[in-house]
Structures are given as structure tokens and as C-alpha cells.
Chain A
Amino acid sequence: MKIIDAAHVFFDYVRRDENDNIEEVSHALSDLSLSIEKGSFVCVLGHNGSGKSTFAKLLNGLNIPREGTVLVAGMDTRQEDKLLQIRETAGMVFQNPDNQIIANVVEEDVGFGPENIGVPTEEIWRRVEASLSAVGMLAYRLKSPNRLSGGQKQRVAIAGVMAMKPACIVLDEPTAMLDPNGRKDVMRTVHELNRREGITIVHITHYMEEAVEADRIIVMDQGRPVMDGTPREIFSRVEELKALSLCVPQVTELAYELRKAGMPISQGILTREELVKELCPLLRASGHEGNTYAKRTR
């Protein structure tokens, strides 16, 4: 079942001068068509200005397409009377954790969304507790967001979306401002929500390591998807990615270079374990003692 279905979407940013005359039009999205299956974990990659953030904001009616339609769980984002329902279905987490937390106490912030959609008081409390424990932040419920680390703040923001019981969460570079530990925490949380609660995740990022763990990767360039497939498929096409000024995970790059240098290594290596498995027989065949390395890493 499709939760998101975008067909032939065009979206422009129009800059106007003081007299409301059009000064400049940039086509952020042009003829974008894609759909996302319910329960999947999708990563959207692309360099700056490729339209990935614009795409994210289409999914909950923050951006309305100039042409084409975006259906979220069957609802057209153009229908204004459905807008609240759409935003309830597709929650959104933004890049800067400070700029999306409204309240001064963690639990009050998580309750903000349910309050807006008119959930009864007792049910709000239940949801706040459930979503805070789902992201592992229940112990911090009475703390001030200013006293949390970036990763913790971002998990609170995720809990705030969870409390609206969304079917889909769109994350717009949620890890861009975090340190490596915070990044790991947020990614673990998002994966758990996907696995345990079956929530569809649309994760926009430019960290390739995060994309490796997705079910599907969409690479965007100049306002439309140019590559679409599983991580293994996408990361086998190293040359194409590089042409789009994107990099590949370190291990993949190493495997690719070795392969180019003539070593018989299969395409689309994604993890260190896979590379080890490929390399050991080669080393043994060439007479080197490859076992010690293999033992140590396992």
C-alpha cells in the first residue's frame, strides 16, 4: 500500500521585489513522480539545492505544488480542509532541534501536537508517556530542553511527532547539527520506530553511512529523482554518484578502488564485514596469512 504518492509535481520558489513583481523564479522541483510504500524506510540523498528539502515539505502540505498532485494516505495536500489530517498522518522533524521545540519542559512540548488536534486531556498524557518512552527520553520528561544535548533534543522532537500517532515521519536532515553520538542515538531511535511501530520513515540526509541501512534510496538532482533502488544497487554505481557530487561510504569506496585496480571483488560492498569476507580468500590465495585479520574483526 502506498502512503505517499506524488505525480508530476512542479514547485517553484518565486522571489518578488517590493512592488510584488517577480524578480527570480527557481524551479525547485520539476516533474517529480514517486511513491513510497507504507512501512518502508526511505533515504533521500542529494547535494545542496537538489530539491530534497522542498520535497520533504510537500509531504505534509507545508509546500503546495504548482502543478501535479501529492497524495498522503489518499488525501490531496491541496484540500485545505484535510490539511490538519495530512499533517497528523505525516509528521515532520527539522534540522535545528532548538527551532522546533516550543515548550520549556520536555513533556509539555511533546503534548503540543496532540493539544493542537484536540485530543482529550487523559489521552494526551497517555500519548506523551508512550512516545517519550518510545524514544527513550521518559526520564527527562520534566527537564528543560535547554539542558539537553542536541541528540536528546532531536529525540524529544521525534517524540513530539510520535504523540500525534503519525503513519509516516519525514525527517529533514535531523542529524546535520549533531555530534557522532547524537547522530547514532537519533538513527537508532528512528530505526526502532520503523521496525517496532511500523512507521514509514522518509529520511533526508547527506550522510552516506545513514543511507546504507535504509530499505530504499532515492537520489535527487535538479528537482527530480535520478536514481532509485536498494542501497546495494545505488552504491554499486559509484561513478554516477560521483558525477552528482555525492560520495559513497568509505568501505564501498575502498572496495570500488580495489576492484578498479583489478582485484576480483563484487560490486556494492556496504559494510566492513562484507569487504573482509571478500578479501580474505584473495589474501589466502595469494599466499598471505589473511586469517589473523579476519579473526580479529569478527
Chain B
Amino acid sequence: MLRDITIGQYYPVDSVIHRLDPRVKLAGTMVFLISLFVTSKLPAYLLATGVLFGLIRLSRVPFRFITKGLKAIMILLVISVSFNLFLTTGTPIFRIGFLQITWEGISLAVFMGVRLIYLVLASSLMTLTTTPNQLTDGLEKGLGFLNRFSVPVHEIAMMMSIALRFIPILIEETDKIMKAQTARGADFESGNLIQKAKAMVPLLVPLFLSAFRRAADLAMAMEARCYHGGAGRTKMKPLHYEKRDKNAYLLMAVYFALMAASRFLPF
């Protein structure tokens, strides 16, 4: 269950999407996420669906890798969908006690569900096709103007990329600690939600301990390799826009215009 989080797991194949500039992919993900919230018209969602699945096909990442991220938000999804489903006022269809299901509720719930799912799919697609280092570079360069307002852009970007790199390692570690504790009689499986959550508490201490130890080791290893912040650093893979990146921006603009325009559809 712990291995299901795909964030930060680069899927190494060669595709158009992989080769795009990370700034394009970051901007594209943002544009896609915003576009889902500017409209709630059916044709617009059909367009968004077409675009999302088209991009997934283009990326050559197997579909099951992209949907893995969904399992992690399942609870959130169920909660938000059911809230929308049961607690929206409007034309009732039927009611059980104080809960009532309305037409408005159904449509809101469906939209909310679709938005959440697409949100995760789109960001998984981005992280699966972009190495964390590229991502960092993209953020660093794309947000570089913030340096003027004394925001430590490079440091934040570096922290993010390291966090991403260590997610799978810490997950593996959690698994190991869980197994070690299970072997000594700990029970993570049975009981209700609260009991399960309580059983997780003894995991945190050894996990944090080892995370801090790793952090200290890593800091030392980075220092030993001459890391001294962003100043005077060169890039192995410097970013510059290609023709395909410009085209991608153009397509993005067209897509967003269409999505925004759909607000004015009469139905």
C-alpha cells in the first residue's frame, strides 16, 4: 500500500513529452489544473479528457503507472464526493433520514470527482515524465525572477528535488520498520481506522530518526562534493526553449482559451 504513491518516480522512456522543457510541463500542468476550475460545462470536460488522455498516450508511460497515484487519494476522493453528493441543496431525488440526494448534488459530486482525479493524473504525468532534477531546474529558472525579492529560489528548488529523491527510500524504510515491528507482534492490519492510525505512531520515531540521520549523511556528502549553494554553479543540462516548446505554449494558450470560452456556452 505504501508503494502506491508515484510522485517523484521518473519513468524513463523517450517521448515528446519527456523531451519538453520542464518549464513548459510545469506551466502546462498549472494551466490544466486551473482550466478544470474555470468551467463546469460538459463539452469543456470532454475536451480536457481528450487532451489529458492524448498526452498520456504521447508520453508512452503505461496507464497503470499513472493511475497508481489515485489510490493514495482514494479516501479524500470518497469524502469529498460524498459531501457534495449528500449535502448539496436543490431538487431532491430521494432522501434517507437527513441525507438527501439532489440533481445538483450528483452533478457537483461528479465534477468534483473528475476534477480531483484529473488533478492527480495530470501531476503524476508531469512527475513521471520529468526527472526531479529537471523539475528543479525548471522551477529555478522559471521562478528565477523571485530572487530579486530575496526569495531563496535555488535553495527551495534543491530541497524539493532532494525530498522527491528520498520519498521512495523512506517508503521502503517504512515498509522495513513495519515488517520488523510486525515480526515482534505489532498489528497494523486489524481494528478500525483510529486503532490503525494509533498503530502507526510507533513507526514515526524510528522513521524520523533514520530520516534525520540520512539528512545529516546527505548534507555531508553534498559538502564533500563541493556543494556551496547556487552561486557559481554551472548546469549539466541547461534549459533553452526548442521549437516544440514554443508550439506547446501555443497549444496551451489555445486550449485554455477554449476552456475559458466554454463558460459562455448556453447550456
Contacts and interface: CB of A to CB of B under 8 A. Distances in A.
Answer whether A and B are interacting partners: yes
B133 interface: yes
A121 B234 CA distance: 7
A264 to B, nearest CB: 50
Interface string B204-226: 00000000001001101111111
A98 interface: yes
A135 interface: no
B228 A84 contact: yes
B132 interface: yes
Interface in B144-174: 161-162, 164-165, 168-169
Given A121-B238, A124-B234, A105 B131 contact: yes
Contact of B10 (A100, A105, A119, A125): A105
Interface in B217-252: 217-218, 220-228, 232-238
B12 A105 contact: yes
B234 A87 contact: no
Given A84-B228, A102-B162, A103-B131, A108 B214 contact: no
A231 B93 CA distance: 87
A281 B218 CA distance: 55
Contact of A160 (B164, B165, B225): B225
Given A88-B226, A113-B226, A116-B227, A99 B214 contact: yes
A115 B229 CA distance: 11
Chain B interface size range = 20 to 34
A124 to B, nearest CB: 5
A94 B220 contact: yes
Interface centre among B162, B234, B235 (most CB of A within 10 A): B234
A118 interface: yes
A98 B225 contact: no
Nearest to B134: A108
Interface centre among B9, B217, B220, B226 (most CB of A within 10 A): B226
Interface string A102-117: 1111011001111111
Contacts of B10: 104-105, 144
A104 B165 CA distance: 6
Contacts of B133: 103-105, 108
A44 interface: no
Given A115-B235, A116-B227, A124-B236, A104 B132 contact: yes
A116 B233 contact: yes
Contacts of B214: 96, 98-99
Contacts of A101: 165
B236 A121 contact: yes
Contacts of A96: 214, 217
A204 B164 CA distance: 31
B236 A108 contact: yes
A233 B139 CA distance: 57
A100 B218 contact: yes
Contact of A94 (B132, B217, B235): B217
Contacts of B220: 57, 62, 94
A117 B227 CA distance: 8
A142 interface: yes
A149 interface: no
B169 to A, nearest CB: 6
Contact of B224 (A60, A98, A118): A60
A125 B236 contact: yes
A144 B214 CA distance: 19
Interface centre among A57, A62, A115, A125 (most CB of B within 10 A): A115
A143 interface: yes
A108 B162 CA distance: 13
Interface string A52-91: 0000010010100000000000000000000010011001
A115 B169 contact: no
Nearest to A116: B226
Contacts of A270: none
Contacts of B12: 105, 142-144
B218 A117 contact: no
A87 B234 CA distance: 17
A22 B10 CA distance: 47
A96 B165 CA distance: 15
Interface of A: 57, 60, 62, 84, 87-88, 91-92, 94, 96, 98-105, 107-108, 111-121, 124-125, 128, 142-144, 146, 160-161, 164
Q: Which 9 A-B pairs have the closest CB atoms?
A: A111-B236, A100-B221, A99-B217, A116-B226, A92-B224, A113-B225, A124-B236, A108-B133, A104-B132
7 contacts: A87-B226, A96-B214, A104-B10, A105-B133, A108-B237, A116-B226, A124-B234
